[in-house]
């Protein structure tokens, strides 16, 4: 509901917005090898990094499983890419300091809000998901 409200605000004010759709890499092996409690800790570490890197005005959400999203209101795709660089740097540091026996990494897709195409947050999420999986597939 908050993300939908942000989209309406951006549309009314003619502001840019970008959605980042993220999926943790190799999450199932973390659960399988280290247990579900450790998998939960990995999710928490990742969520903490999201909160540390992104702005208070950004809408951060866990969609379920190992999927997360961030809606950056009044932010272009280029600015969102810079945030992803900061997130990777922050996560690299957390991985070094965590010494957990595994590293947390992620794949992502980005979509700029287009009011003519994205009438709801669901349509924007669907596009973000598609871009993320296309990117993940091309890196294999």
Tokens of residue 58, six digits: 């950004």
Tell the CATH topology of 2-139.
Answer: Alpha-Beta Plaits (3.30.70)
Q: What is the pTM of this model?
A: 0.93
Which band of pLDDT confidence, cut at 50, 70 and 90, is reported for residue 129?
very high
pLDDT at 33: 96
Give the residue extent of every domain in the chain.
2-139
pLDDT in tens, 20-43: 999 999 999 999 999 999 999 999
Report, as an integer, the average pLDDT of 111-122: 94
Whole-number Å distance between alpha carbons of 62 and 108: 14
Closest CA to 83 of 4, 20, 14, 2: 20
Q: What's the whole-number average pLDDT of the chain?
A: 95
pLDDT at 140: 66
């Amino acid at each position: 509901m908050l993300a939908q409200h942000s989209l309406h605000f951006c549309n009314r004010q003619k502001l840019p917005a970008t959605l980042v759709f993220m999926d943790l890499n190799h999450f199932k092996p973390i659960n399988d090898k280290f247990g579900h409690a450790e998998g939960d800790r990995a999710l928490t570490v990742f969520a903490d990094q999201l909160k540390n890197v992104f702005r208070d005005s950004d809408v951060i959400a866990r969609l379920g499983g190992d999927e997360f999203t961030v809606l950056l209101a009044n932010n272009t795709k280029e600015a969102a890419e810079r945030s992803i660089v900061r997130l990777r740097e922050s996560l690299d540091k957390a991985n070094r300091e965590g010494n957990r026996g595994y590293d947390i990494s992620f794949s992502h897709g980005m979509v700029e809000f287009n009011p003519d195409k994205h009438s709801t947050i669901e349509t924007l999420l669907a596009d973000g998901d598609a871009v993320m999986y296309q990117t993940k597939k091309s890196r294999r």
